């Protein structure tokens, strides 16, 4: 009689125990110390389904015949040819060597994104960069699609970006001290269920309940009513998308107009405040920024803005700003404007007061702060200085040698000949996918290393099958998690797939770098080393005792040293002269000398309202504003066919949420297939009519696997990035502008078939063996 094995594991959406019987997953149980486990844990058995897996090394037939001289437009059309691992790793090593010798290592783009696996050892992106740094380097990227414009402006105005990385006021402090909480964007379990590198305890809902119990007045500023749990009973202010900056500045202007701004705080703790004050009172441009001005832009009630401005200075007030607000054209401005408003109020550095960024955007933001050393693989020193802002991939491929700006410097795009993508799917997360498709024809060779046959893998020249985390051993942990968690192997690898470390080690061997790459350690040797390094740091630096590796591995987890009740910038507020910030004058920057000299039209010397390229304030009557947010049933495009994800779909397509008034105006019924389009592309979705969405707004989650049907080119799975605008947030930050998008909608009568089935048909045609 077989016995059920209990295997501790962790993913980005949390820790859990996998129940395995006769090599098959028969159940999943949540982590015993998690008060709010994610439902996504029940989808992980989909990783054991071979239908969408890469099961053996494969090479596009045209590339196998002609190598770098092949027809690059054959990507995604020509069939793949299976090859053995020795041939595959030889082809990869030879390509790295060829491009390095002929064009230099800057022509190798290691564009990998790190979300494919929460493990800190088999972290594909880190291991790829580790290997390439041993053989001359690569062109990489800075910042992330999730958050780029925000960290850039905060590094300039606060000296670092910790306020948006989980080091602002902790939520337990807010729950004890805050009287008025203004939520710009969201604090939602939908996004808080995930955390980069895994999470042990989902605490956002626990903290929210304590905030509610305190009687805190909570105001949600969002086009979506469900961007905070219904039981919070927040006041919903259904703002026009991408106008939060105007509301923040209007509130600040009202406070200044009433002469209630904290002049002492502005004098002691900020620099350049006079620039902002002249903008707010209208001295600069003749237009005062007050409640009436903000109401005209945001669509909100003027009197409510006046009353909130008064309350913000009369009570202990906290502003929270979601990461999503900076994923928009001029995305630097809402982060900077919130900092300006908080400075005008003058409560920065007080318990429960001030401003913080990203609460609920990831599960660990606002929770207790891990003050220990998180486990991580070294990528080694970078031999060359070559990078692009993360979302400028198409620009790089389409404009080799062209200039770009970033943080005040002008740089130049490399001549990219080789793209090596390990663990990621740009055909999910990049904007304007039809433009990306053209850019994707430019490199001579594209290598994709991934467990899944994603749309990106379909468009590769060489595909290397990696295992998922449940087919190998690893550990999870990060600076926003209070645990290090064991990720033990549950099942054997599918097909011929191999662990990422083993793949890179084999390639490194053929490049003559294996000894330096592996440092003489195998998988378990590395896991022991990474854990013990964190354990030793906790003991020697903090006096915190963690169990030894063997005890940890048996238990499946170990607690980390943490700090609770944290108030951001408390020391700076008390003594700004002796605790200066790393900014141009050691203070919070409200008026920037640097940006004044740069004279950018899209990121000036103080926070300002700048109209985005596309918004409802300049739309046609038949246009809606598209919001493409994180889905509830999966992380990005991972486990798209899992049970939690499928439950959100209809006919294999995403559901698009539409306000009843808009549905009536466009002749759309609930459950009907609709076409969503603009000049950049078109996709299909299933309409969901609901009054939780502001009129004039349509919501389509991210992550549907890019699936086209027939010659029309229409995307049938509901991938919103065929519609989004591929422009940088500004010349300064160059982040992605994923939420600045106007669209049109209409009923769609033709039956396109089930999108998931259509994807499988395409995959079978390309990769049949």
Cβ distance 51 to 37 under 8 Å?
Answer: no
Query: Distance between CA atoms of 698 and 616, rounded to whole angstroms?
Result: 12
Cβ distance 761 to 170 under 8 Å?
Answer: no
Please give the average per-residue pLDDT across 572-580, as a whole number: 97
Beta bridge partners of 10: 15
Neighbours of 282 (CB within 10 A): 15
pLDDT reported for residue 260? 98
Work out the end-to-end distance of the chain between its first and last CA atoms, rounded to an integer number of angstroms.
37
Q: Give the three-class secondary structure for 475.
A: strand
Q: pLDDT-derived band of residue 395, with 50, 70 and 90 as boundaries?
A: very high
Nearest to 168 by CA among 475, 570, 498, 545: 570
List pLDDT tens digits, range 308-353: 999 999 999 999 999 999 999 999 999 999 999 999 999 999 999 9
Query: Distance between CA atoms of 493 and 167, rounded to whole angstroms?
Result: 39
Nearest to 116 by CA among 125, 129, 107: 125
Q: Give the three-class secondary structure for 409.
A: strand
pLDDT reported for residue 114? 64
Please give the average per-residue pLDDT across 14-37, as a whole number: 97
List pLDDT tens digits, range 265-291: 999 999 999 999 999 999 999 999 999
Query: Distance between CA atoms of 705 and 710, rounded to whole angstroms?
Result: 16
Please give the average per-residue pLDDT across 72-89, as a whole number: 97
Mean per-residue pLDDT over the chain, rounded: 96
pLDDT reported for residue 483? 97
pLDDT reported for residue 751? 87
Over the range 514-545, which residues count as b (16 or more CB within 10 Å of their CB) and which as e? Answer: beebbeeeebeebbbebbeebbebbeeeeebe
Residue 584 has pLDDT above 70, yes or no: yes
Nearest to 37 by CA among 190, 193, 230, 228: 193
294 sits in which H/E element: helix 291-298
Query: Distance between CA atoms of 601 and 598, rounded to whole angstroms?
Result: 9
Residue 370 has pLDDT above 80, yes or no: yes
List pLDDT tens digits, range 425-471: 999 999 999 999 999 999 999 999 999 999 999 999 999 999 999 99
Please give the average per-residue pLDDT across 203-225, as a whole number: 98
Q: What are the CA-CA distances from residue 459 to residues 47, 277, 436, 762, 767 (Å)? A: 21, 52, 11, 12, 12
| Catalytic residue list | 113, 115
SS3 content of the chain, % helix, strand, coil (to 5): 35, 20, 45
Residue 640 has pLDDT above 70, yes or no: yes
Say what the pTM is.
0.97
Please give the average per-residue pLDDT across 155-180, as a whole number: 97
Query: Distance between CA atoms of 486 and 476, rounded to whole angstroms?
Result: 6
Residue 401 has pLDDT above 80, yes or no: yes
Residue 525 has pLDDT above 80, yes or no: yes
Please state, for a pLDDT cut of 70, what percent of the chain lies above it. Answer: 100
> How many residues are present in the chain?
769
Do β-strands 409-412 and 673-678 pair in parallel, antiparallel, or remain unpaired?
Answer: unpaired
Please give the average per-residue pLDDT across 492-515, as a whole number: 98
Q: In sequence order, which ranges of 121-226 are alpha helices (DSSP H)?
A: 124-133, 149-157, 171-177, 189-192, 204-214
Do β-strands 562-563 and 369-370 pair in parallel, antiparallel, or remain unpaired?
Answer: antiparallel
Query: Distance between CA atoms of 304 and 306, rounded to whole angstroms?
Result: 5
Of the given ranges (125-134, 565-574, 735-744), which has the lowest mean pLDDT?
735-744
Query: Distance between CA atoms of 536 and 539, rounded to whole angstroms?
Result: 5
pLDDT reported for residue 1? 56
By the 10 Å C-beta count (0-12 exposed, 13-18 middle, 19+ buried), 645 is classed as buried
List pLDDT tens digits, range 691-743: 999 999 999 999 999 999 877 789 999 999 999 999 999 999 999 998 779 99
């Amino acid at each position: 009689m077989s016995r059920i094995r209990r295997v501790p594991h962790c993913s980005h959406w949390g820790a859990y125990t996998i129940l395995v019987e006769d090599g098959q997953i028969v159940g999943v149980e949540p982590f015993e110390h998690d008060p709010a486990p994610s439902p996504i844990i029940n989808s992980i058995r989909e990783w054991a389904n071979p239908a969408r897996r890469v099961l053996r090394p494969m090479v596009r037939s045209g590339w196998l015949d002609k190598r770098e001289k092949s027809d690059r437009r054959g990507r995604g059309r020509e069939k793949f040819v299976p090859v053995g691992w020795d041939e595959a790793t030889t082809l990869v090593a030879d390509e790295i060597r060829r491009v390095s010798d002929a064009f230099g290592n800057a022509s190798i783009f290691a564009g990998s994104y790190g979300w494919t696996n929460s493990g800190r050892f088999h972290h594909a992106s880190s291991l790829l960069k580790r290997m390439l740094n041993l053989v001359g380097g690569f062109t990489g990227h800075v910042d992330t699609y999730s958050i780029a414009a925000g960290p850039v402006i905060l590094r300039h105005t606060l000296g670092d970006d910790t306020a948006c990385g989980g080091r602002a006021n902790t939520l337990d402090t807010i729950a004890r001290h805050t009287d008025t909480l203004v939520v710009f964007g969201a604090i939602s379990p939908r996004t808080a269920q995930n955390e980069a590198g895994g999470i042990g305890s989902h605490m956002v809902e626990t903290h929210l309940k304590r905030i509610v119990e305190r009687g805190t007045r909570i105001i949600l500023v969002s086009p979506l009513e469900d961007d905070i749990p219904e039981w919070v009973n927040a006041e919903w202010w259904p703002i026009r998308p991408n106008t939060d900056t105007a509301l923040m500045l209007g509130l600040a202007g009202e406070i200044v107009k009433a002469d209630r701004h904290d002049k002492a705080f502005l004098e002691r703790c900020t620099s350049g405040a006079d620039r902002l004050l002249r903008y707010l009172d209208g001295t600069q441009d003749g237009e005062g920024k007050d409640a009436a001005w903000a109401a005209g832009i945001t669509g909100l009630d003027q009197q409510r803005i006046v009353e909130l401005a008064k309350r913000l200075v009369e009570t202990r007030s906290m502003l929270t700003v979601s990461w999503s607000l900076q994923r928009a054209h001029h995305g630097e401005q809402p982060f900077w404007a919130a900092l300006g408003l908080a400075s005008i109020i003058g409560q920065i550095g007080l318990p429960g007061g001030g401003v913080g960024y990203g609460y609920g955007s990831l599960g660990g933001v606002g929770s207790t702060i891990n003050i220990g050393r998180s486990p991580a693989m070294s990528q080694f020193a970078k031999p060359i200085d070559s990078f692009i802002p993360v979302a400028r991939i198409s620009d790089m491929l389409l404009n080799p040698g062209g200039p770009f700006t970033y943080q005040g410097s002008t740089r130049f795009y490399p001549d990219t000949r080789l793209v090596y993508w390990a663990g990621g799917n740009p055909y999910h997360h990049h904007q304007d996918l039809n433009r990306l498709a053209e850019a994707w024809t430019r490199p001579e060779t594209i290598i994709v290393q991934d467990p899944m046959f994603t749309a990106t893998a379909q468009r590769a020249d060489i595909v290397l099958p990696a295992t998922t985390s449940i087919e190998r051993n690893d550990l999870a942990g990060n600076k926003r998690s209070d645990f290090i968690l064991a990720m033990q192997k549950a099942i054997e690898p599918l097909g011929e797939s191999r662990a990422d470390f083993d793949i890179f080690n084999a390639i490194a061997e053929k490049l003559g770098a294996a000894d330096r790459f592996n440092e003489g350690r195998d998988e378990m040797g590395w896991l022991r080393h990474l854990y013990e390094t964190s354990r030793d740091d906790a003991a020697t630096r903090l006096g915190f005792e963690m169990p030894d590796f063997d005890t940890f591995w048996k238990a499946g987890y170990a607690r980390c040293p943490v700090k609770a009740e944290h108030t951001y910038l408390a020391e700076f507020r008390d003594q700004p002269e002796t605790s200066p910030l790393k900014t141009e004058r050691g203070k919070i920057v409200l008026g920037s000398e640097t940006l004044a000299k740069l004279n950018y039209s899209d990121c000036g010397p103080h926070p300002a309202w700048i109209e985005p390229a596309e918004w409802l304030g300049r739309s046609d009557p038949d246009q809606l504003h598209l919001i493409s947010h994180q889905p509830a049933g999966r992380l990005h495009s991972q486990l798209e066919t899992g049970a939690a994800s499928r439950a959100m779909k209809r006919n294999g397509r995403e559901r698009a949420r539409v306000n009843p008034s808009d549905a009536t105006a466009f002749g759309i019924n609930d459950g009907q297939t609709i076409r969503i389009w603009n000049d950049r592309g078109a996709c299909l979705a299933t309409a969901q009519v609901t009054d939780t969405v502001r009129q004039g707004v349509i919501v389509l989650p991210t992550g549907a696997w890019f699936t086209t049907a027939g010659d029309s080119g229409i995307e049938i799975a509901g991938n919103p990035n065929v519609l989004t605008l591929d422009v940088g947030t500004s010349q300064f930050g160059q982040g992605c502008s994923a939420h600045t998008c106007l669209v049109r909608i209409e009923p769609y009568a033709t039956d396109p078939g089930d999108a998931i089935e259509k994807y499988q048909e395409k995959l079978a045609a390309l990769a049949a063996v």
